[in-house]
Amino acid sequence: MTSLEAAVSTQDINQITSVVSNLDKVLIHEQLAIEHENTNPQTSFGKFMKAMEVPHEGKPLSILRNPDLEPVSAENQTYGITAISAYWSIPNCSIMTYSTGGALIGLGLNAKSSIVAIVIANLAISFYIVLSGFMGFKYHIGFGLTQRMVFGIKGSYFGVLVRMGLSLVMFGYLSWSGGLCVNMMLDALSHHYLHLPNYFPDSVQFNTKDFVGFLIFQIICYPMAFIHPRKVGSLSLWSCVFTFFGVMGIFIYITHKAGPGPLWYSHDTTTSKSQTGWMWLYAMTIWYSGVGAPVTNQNDYTRFVPGRKQFWSNIVISISLTITATLVCTWGMIVGSGCIELYGEAYYLPYEITEQWLTDNYSGKARAASFFLGLAFTFCQLMLNMTQNAYAIGMDLTTYAPKFIDIKRGTIVCLLLSWVTCPWTFFGSSSKFLDVMGAFGVFTLPISALGWIEYWFVRKCKLSLIDFFTMSSKGSYWYWHGFNVRALVCCLIGMVLGFPGLYYSCNPDVEPNAGMMNYFYGYMYFIPVVTASVYVISHLLFPLKHEKLAKNDPVDYFNCFTPEECAQLGMLKYDGNLDVYQFIDAQNIDGVDTDSLTQEKVVKEEKS
């Protein structure tokens, strides 16, 4: 044992309890009481519910806690720098990023203006990533726990519900596009499948071929539900590598055949000078919406990274995001422009290009290209959909019912529910594509902005982890009856201001209010500023007061910190094999009046 480990680690329970406040002892006692509820049911229904509990291998389980929800232990922090950067490279190499360039040109911008907008947006997104991911790096907590910090123990269900709803819609959307990637392979394997007739009536919004691809992609997703998110780092990395070189291959082939095409050389815009600036801002907003989910989910994955790697992880993520995303999107625009020269039409989706190849000449080369490109894009869509949406819903459902739902069960629920979103309706036209891409940030950005202010400004980057798992009114995240009312109000203000613009964008026949429409165009920047400003002002006028505000736990209760981290955080690390909760409770609770102890009494005792 090193001198540092000896300084912060101990097996002496008396030394541990000497630094634990009376308030923490009460919280521990109440947490254990919650965990021990209905542990020996007598009724048939109680026994059935007991059997339905998630496997937890003797670890604590309650209405607020299970192994997937609590801070990640040191031994399960399995992500390295390449794994967490791969998490960000997946959306950068996906079909969404590849095709977004065409959507930006559809706004009336030229190709070069669109690229500049993407670069600037990526720099802003890198800043958002750092703000969102720091809680995961430092405290190894996920989105569900940060929502308890922001909205309160009970109010957290609101933030979780918002993300869960959007993730479900996005899962269906990406599953449908993943099915189109599956068809790239099946087209290469069978000429009959390439020209498969449609057996559905005209009233149905999809055809037989697309439905088959979607069904196969859904089936492929199911085995992934049984792999824990902390173990998919290598799969994510390889999916990025294969897809990046696949996109590069398409780019090289098209530019070799036709050059960059007419759109690349055009300097014209189809909007007025006054409107061009707002469209340029809207381009950044659309770009953000495409990666809004991973920004919101950031600490769900940074919690798997050892804290000592946070600096270089942020550097690598920012570099990979800016370079990879810009390259893939630029290549997509150039390929679409080159397709005008070759085929008379701009193709911004890979499966449109391969279908054109196979239709023109069903040769061995065309079939091989279509199959391997389809394999790469299907792999990427699979990892993108699982890491950004399916696992996110699994984690969210875990927050709602920790005793009965873990990440695996929640992910399976997501797969079963994805049909209800009717994802085929998103592929009717390019305008619907923009509507889907442009709307999600209106809901997620206020939640993210509140998290930034709560962590960096209100709590000074110091959190009490033990308070995440208590229903006690003495807990740091209880606020008013379990709800942080001011956060809920500020969040709704940030969201509501974006609703008029969203309505106008979905209903182009309605005469828009210019100010609200422009606010929607730039909500990537406006919503965080408005939401954060209102929240900061509320805290300046009515400061939050709590004896544990901006304080770390005195003990590493969850074994999620290294000795170096414990030293930096001012914590002791219990070096025993048994649950430190049980020890503290047994040693000290007899001397604490848990029924009558109030916050005022605790403060008075600690001051004395």
pLDDT digits (tens, 9 = 90+) for 286-330: 888 878 888 888 999 999 999 888 888 888 888 888 889 899 999
* Average pLDDT of the residues in 130-149: 93
Share of the chain above pLDDT 70, in %: 89
- pLDDT exceeds cutoff 50 at 606: no
pLDDT at site 149:
96
499 forms beta bridges with: none
Q: Is residue 351 predicted with pLDDT exceeding 90? A: yes
How many Cβ atoms are within 10 Å of 347's Cβ, its own excluded? Answer: 24
Residue 271 has pLDDT above 80, yes or no: no
Q: Do residues 240 and 90 make contact, with C-beta atoms less than 8 angstroms apart?
A: yes
pLDDT tens for residues 31-68?
777 777 767 777 888 888 888 888 877 778 888 989 99
pLDDT in tens, 171-214: 998 999 999 999 999 999 999 999 999 998 888 888 999 999 99
User: Is residue 302 included in any domain, yes or no?
Assistant: yes
Q: What gap in Å lies between CA 605 and CA 600, rounded to an integer?
A: 9
Judge if 170 and 277 occupy the same domain.
Answer: yes
DSSP letter at 10 equals E
Same domain, 422 and 554: no
305 in the same domain as 225: yes
Strand partners, 62: 65
171 and 244, same domain (yes or no): yes
Print the domain residue range for 184: 74-541
pLDDT digits (tens, 9 = 90+) for 546-574: 999 999 999 898 889 988 889 889 888 87
69: in domain: no
State the pLDDT at residue 510: 87
pLDDT score recorded for residue 605: 43
Q: Where are the alpha helices (DSSP H) in 94-207?
A: 95-105, 111-139, 143-151, 156-189, 191-194
User: What single-letter DSSP state applies at residue 231?
Assistant: G
Q: Give CA torsion, residues 444, 448, 451, 457, to 10 deg.
A: -140
| Section 321-343 average pLDDT | 90
- Domain limit, last residue, from 541, 568, 590: 541
Domain match, 228 and 341 both: yes
For residue 376, give both structure tokens. 């790469």
Residue 329 lies in a domain: yes
How many C-beta atoms surround the C-beta of residue 80 within 10 A? 18
Question: Could you tell me which residue, 478 or 316, shows the higher pLDDT?
Answer: 478
DSSP string, 240-284: HHHHHHHHHHHHHHHHHHHTT-HHHH----SS-HHHHHHHHHHHH
pLDDT at 430: 46
Task: Pick the closest to residue 387 from 221, 568, 271 (CA basis).
Answer: 221
* SS3 state at 27: helix
Which tokens sit at 386?
A: 């699982």
User: What are the DSSP calls for 375-436, one per residue?
Assistant: HHHHHHHHHHHIIIIIHHHHHHHHHH-TTT--HHHHHHHHHHHGGGG-GGGGGS-HHHHHHH
Give dist(CA 156, CA 145) in Å, integer: 8
Going by pLDDT thresholds of 50, 70 and 90, the confidence category of residue 595 is: very low
pLDDT at 437 over 70: no
Residue 438: what pLDDT? Answer: 67
- The confidence score (pLDDT) of residue 507 equals 81
Mean pLDDT lowest for which of 85-99, 131-145, 516-530?
Answer: 85-99
pLDDT-derived band at 16 (thresholds 50, 70, 90) equals confident
Query: Is residue 608 one of the residues assigned to a domain?
Result: no
Instruction: Give the number of domains in the chain.
Output: 2
Task: Give burial (CB, 10 Å; 0-12/13-18/19+) of 10.
Answer: middle
Asked if residue 426 and residue 318 are part of one domain, the reply reads: yes
**Domain annotation covers residue 118:** yes
Same domain, 55 and 87: no
Q: What is the mean pLDDT of residues 106-126?
A: 87
Confirm whether 580 is domain-assigned. yes
Residue 596: per-residue pLDDT: 44
Q: 101-115, 335-349, 369-383 — which one is most confidently predicted on average?
A: 369-383
235-264 per-position pLDDT tens digit: 999 999 999 999 999 999 999 998 888 877
Position 604 scores a pLDDT of 39
Choice between 316 and 578, residue whose per-residue pLDDT is larger: 316
Same domain, 464 and 498: yes
Residues in a beta bridge with 9 = 573
H or E, element range at 573: strand 573-574
Of all residues in the chain, what percent carry a pLDDT higher than 90?
50
Same-domain check for residues 57 and 79? no
Residue 517: CB atoms within 10 A of its CB come to 17
Structural domain ending residue among the three candidates 490, 523, 541: 541
As a whole number, the mean pLDDT across the chain is 86
Mean pLDDT (whole number) for 587-599? 48
pLDDT tens for 383-413 read: 999 999 999 999 999 999 999 999 999 999 9
In this prediction, residue 390 carries a pLDDT of: 95
Regarding whether 575 and 471 lie in a shared domain, the answer is no
Say whether both 40 and 142 belong to one domain: no
Q: What pLDDT shows up at residue 434?
A: 53
| Mean pLDDT value across residues 99-113 | 82
The rounded distance, in Å, linking the Cα atoms of 567 and 296 is: 30
Please indicate, yes or no, if residue 68 is contained in any of the structural domains.
no
Report CA Rg, the chain. 26
Tell whether 398 is covered by a domain: yes
Q: How far apart are CA 397 and CA 165, in angstroms?
A: 11
Tell me if 374 sits within 8 A of 182, measured CB to CB.
yes
Residues 90 and 30 in one domain: no
User: Per-residue pLDDT averaged across 86-112, rounded?
Assistant: 85
CATH number at residue 464: 1.10.4160.10
